[in-house]
Amino acid sequence: MNDPYKVLGVESTSTDDEVKKAYRALSRKYHPDANIDNPNSELAEEMFEQVQEAYSMLMKHRQTGEPLPTEKGKGPGTDSRGRTYSSTFNTYGGGYTSAFEQASYGAAGSSDEYVPDGNDEASVKLRAAANYVIAENWGEALKILNFMPMVQRDARWYFYAARAYAGVGSAATALQYAQTAINMDPQNMKYQDLYRSYKAKGEKYSSGSSIYGGSSSNGSNGGACKN
């Protein structure tokens, strides 16, 4: 796996804008449309993909703290399933994956995440759903979860359902379901942590918005032409 910094020609101390500028220059150079007459167009295409991959990897690393593959094994949260990063460029795990699900559990969740035990029917189903959630296969997880009758929906159900709904971008559902899990089992820290991670993500955005005038409504008109 190539060092994304080297591919783009930037440093770890470069600003995001510098990274973007470097990306734009390289991607313009190797873009398929710019290399139609190039006898080495296959090489250009390969370079284009490498540049895309490097950019994606680097930006993801900067946004989520996910370690770069060159740092594999050096820190916590390593994707021990060896998933390549190119798969994260164009999909978020086979569909739409909400980044606030990823933020809570790291890249695709760690492979040693606890899954429900128990041999009763509900636990067996939950285990299957949990594994889908960990693999970020939200659709399959929801299929199992939504088919379980209300009597089988305990705190664990709401916990995994919250994450699955978060994964498909249903923010209000995720919040309420996380809250339900807490209500049903107030002692379980996992449920508290999940809810907190959702709020934290929203608050991080809020605090980041202050340099642009913040989210306070001061009644000013933002239109171009109404004044």
Partner 1 sequence: MYGYVITNKPELKMKEFDEYRSFYCGLCDTLYQKFGRAGQLTLNFDCTFLLLLLDGLYEPVANEYERTCIEHPLKKHGHATSEVTDYAADMNLLLAWYKLVDDWKDEKSAKAYAASLLVRKNVKRIAAKYPKKAAVIEKAMKRLAQLERRAASDGSLSATGRDLSGFGFSASGRKATSGAESARLLDELAACFGTALAEICDYKQDEWSTTLRKLGFNLGCFIYLADAYDDRHKDEETGNFNPFLLLYKEMSQDDVEALAKTDLNLRMAECTECFEFLPILRHGEILRNILYSGVWQKLNLPDLKERP
Side chain identity at residue 159, one-letter code: F
What DSSP state is assigned to residue 118?
A: -
Number of chain residues interacting with partner 1 (CB under 8 A)? 71
In Å, what is the CA distance from 89 to each residue of 15, 56, 97, 191?
Answer: 21, 6, 12, 30
Does residue 100 contact residue 201 with C-beta atoms inside 8 Å? yes
* Residue 82 burial (10 A CB sphere; 0-12, 13-18, 19+): exposed
Tell me whether residue 111 or residue 215 sits nearer to partner 1 (CB atom).
215
Closest approach, Cβ 131 to partner 1, in A, equals 21
Closest approach, Cβ 26 to partner 1, in A, equals 10
Which window, 56-64, 66-74, 75-83, 124-132, contacts partner 1 (CB under 8 A)? 56-64
Site string for partner 1, 186-205 (x = CB under 8 A): ------------xx-xxxxx
Does 221 contact partner 1 by CB under 8 A? yes
* One residue of 55, 132, 160, 191 binding partner 1 per CB under 8 A: 55
Does 149 contact partner 1 by CB under 8 A? yes
Contacts with 85 (C-beta within 8 Å, 6 or more apart), sequence order? 1, 53, 56, 57, 60, 69
Kindly report each contact of residues 18-25 with a partner whose C-beta sits within 8 Å and lies 24 or more positions away, as own/partner: 19/55, 19/58, 19/59, 19/62, 23/51, 23/55
Closest approach, Cβ 115 to partner 1, in A, equals 18
Closest approach, Cβ 75 to partner 1, in A, equals 22
Report the site for partner 1 in 153-192 (rule: CB under 8 A). Answer: 153-155, 157-158, 165, 169-173, 175-177, 179-180, 183-184
- The alpha-carbon radius of gyration of the chain (Å, integer) is 22
Closest approach, Cβ 6 to partner 1, in A, equals 18
Which window, 15-23, 73-81, 127-135, 186-194, contacts partner 1 (CB under 8 A)? 15-23
Helix residue ranges per DSSP H, 85-188: 86-90, 99-105, 121-134, 138-147, 155-167, 171-184
Closest approach, Cβ 41 to partner 1, in A, equals 17
What DSSP state is assigned to residue 67?
A: P
Report the site for partner 1 in 78-107 (rule: CB under 8 A). Answer: 89-92, 96, 98-100
DSSP H or E run through 62: helix 41-64
